[in-house]
């Protein structure tokens, strides 16, 4: 297939591009580098890879055949919700509309990277796809949550009205090499702090939970979903839940750091719990996460050590 990947120079978009190329597909990556990096795709040496620098909130012009549009473009870190709120709303709304329009014009399939944030601060745990969520539309996180909820609604409307062959993946916290050390998300933040011997900044009392998926597992779930005929949302994430305090302690232990822990205020609307119900992914895709937290951490820490040496 010839596949357009928006957000192709980001953390997940670059790993997805690697996987698609390894499977023999052609990739057209589109990115405006708002949170992505050229270095994530510099290693790609293939005549089946094309890169276009472009903001997908503007009309997307791709020449030739396209079989699938995989729309990953969007800032994704909570610190960006305050920094780039309008760009996030635009890429979720206008970017998704343009990417769907491209899929329609090319008679291609459409795959959207949605998020566990559609469940907001969930009142049920774990979260199944049937849960409608608990989102504050006017809070700081609302720009991201509502953009993704709108993107899902727009995707389903194109499915119903224009018969677009859709895929909706609700991604739960994913980590690994190629995250930026200053990305702001908890994994790169804690690992960078531990490697520098600085205190780890736990927000609130650190009792809030997340469930961390190693990127290789996630990308495998993406690929299975792509090849499946499933048009409705599917959660992809690791079902092992951990508190942020436990995560900080684990990272200090695995890095062998002598960092301490400091407590900082909990951000507004920070979800108290998060764990995917992956029964749909298991049933439809025969997928579950395989990489244990410590194994994924060891590989991610190696990457961040190398990054620290470069910086």
Please, what's the b/e burial string for 206-237 (b: 16 or more CB within 10 A of its CB; e: otherwise)? bebbbbbbbbbbbbbbbbbbbeeebbebbbbb
Q: Could you give the 3-state DSSP secondary structure of residue 296?
A: helix
Residues 160-189 within binding reach of ligand NAD (CB under 6 A):
171, 173-174
User: E strand or H helix at 168, and its extent?
Assistant: strand 166-171
Q: Find residue 171's DSSP bridge partners.
A: 115, 236
Stretch that binds ligand NAD, among 30-38, 42-50, 135-143, 282-290 (CB under 6 A): 30-38
The CB-side HSE value for 160 (13 A sphere, CA atoms) comes to 7
Please report whether residue 57 would count as binding ligand NAD according to CB under 6 A.
yes
Is 144 tagged catalytic? yes
**Total of residues contacting ligand NAD (CB under 6 A):** 29
Please report whether residue 293 would count as binding ligand NAD according to CB under 6 A.
no
* Structural tokens at position 41: 């795709």
Task: Please give the distance of CA 51 from its chain centroid, rounded to a whole number.
Answer: 20
Q: Could you give the 3-state DSSP secondary structure of residue 6?
A: strand
Q: Could you give the 3-state DSSP secondary structure of residue 247?
A: helix
Partner touching 202 among ligand UDP, ligand NAD, none, CB below 5 to 8 Å by kind: ligand UDP
Q: Which of 4, 17, 27, 36 binds ligand NAD (CB under 6 A)?
A: 36
Partner touching 74 among ligand UDP, ligand NAD, none, CB below 5 to 8 Å by kind: ligand NAD
Which residues are CB-neighbours of 156 under 8 A, at least 6 positions away?
Answer: 166, 168
User: Which residue ranges make up the site for ligand UDP (CB under 6 A)?
Assistant: 78, 173, 185-186, 189, 201-203, 208, 210, 244, 267, 270
Site string for ligand NAD, 73-112 (x = CB under 6 A): xxxx--------------x---x-----------------
Q: What's the min distance (Å) between Cβ of 274 and ligand UDP? A: 6
Q: What's the min distance (Å) between Cβ of 96 and ligand NAD? A: 10
85 versus 199: smaller Cβ distance to ligand NAD: 85
Estimate the crossing angle of helix 244-255 against helix 293-310, to 10 degrees: 60
Binding residues for ligand NAD (CB under 6 A)? 6-7, 9-13, 30-36, 55-57, 72-76, 91, 95, 113, 115, 171, 173-174
List active site positions: 144
């Amino acid at each position: 297939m010839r596949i357009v990947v928006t957000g192709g120079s980001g953390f997940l978009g670059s790993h997805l591009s690697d996987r698609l190329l390894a499977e023999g597909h052609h990739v057209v990556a589109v990115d405006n580098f708002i949170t992505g990096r050229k270095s994530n795709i510099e290693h790609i040496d293939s005549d089946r890879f094309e890169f276009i620098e472009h903001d997908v909130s503007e009309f997307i012009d791709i020449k030739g055949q396209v079989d699938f549009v995989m729309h990953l473009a969007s800032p994704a870190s909570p610190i960006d919700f305050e920094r780039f709120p309008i760009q996030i709303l635009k890429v979720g709304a206008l970017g998704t509309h343009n990417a769907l329009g491209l899929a329609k014009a090319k008679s291609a399939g459409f795959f959207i990277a949605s998020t566990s944030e559609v469940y907001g601060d969930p009142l049920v745990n774990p979260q199944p796809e049937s849960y409608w969520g608990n989102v504050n539309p006017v809070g700081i996180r609302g720009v991201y949550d509502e953009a993704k909820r709108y993107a899902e609604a727009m995707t389903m409307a194109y499915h119903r009205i224009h018969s677009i062959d859709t895929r909706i993946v609700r991604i739960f916290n994913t980590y690994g090499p190629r995250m930026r050390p200053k990305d702001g998300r908890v994994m790169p933040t804690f690992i960078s702090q531990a490697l520098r011997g600085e205190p780890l900044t736990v927000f609130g009392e650190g009792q809030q939970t997340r469930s961390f998926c190693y990127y290789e597992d996630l990308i495998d779930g993406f690929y299975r979903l792509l090849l499946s005929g499933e048009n409705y949302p599917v959660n992809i994430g690791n079902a092992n839940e951990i508190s942020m305090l436990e995560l900080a302690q684990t990272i200090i232990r695995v890095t062998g750091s002598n960092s301490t822990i400091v407590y900082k205020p909990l951000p507004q609307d920070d979800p108290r719990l998060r764990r995917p119900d992956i029964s749909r992914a298991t049933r439809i895709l025969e997928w579950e996460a395989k990489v244990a937290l410590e194994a994924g951490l060891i590989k991610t820490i190696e990457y961040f050590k190398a990054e620290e040496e470069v910086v």
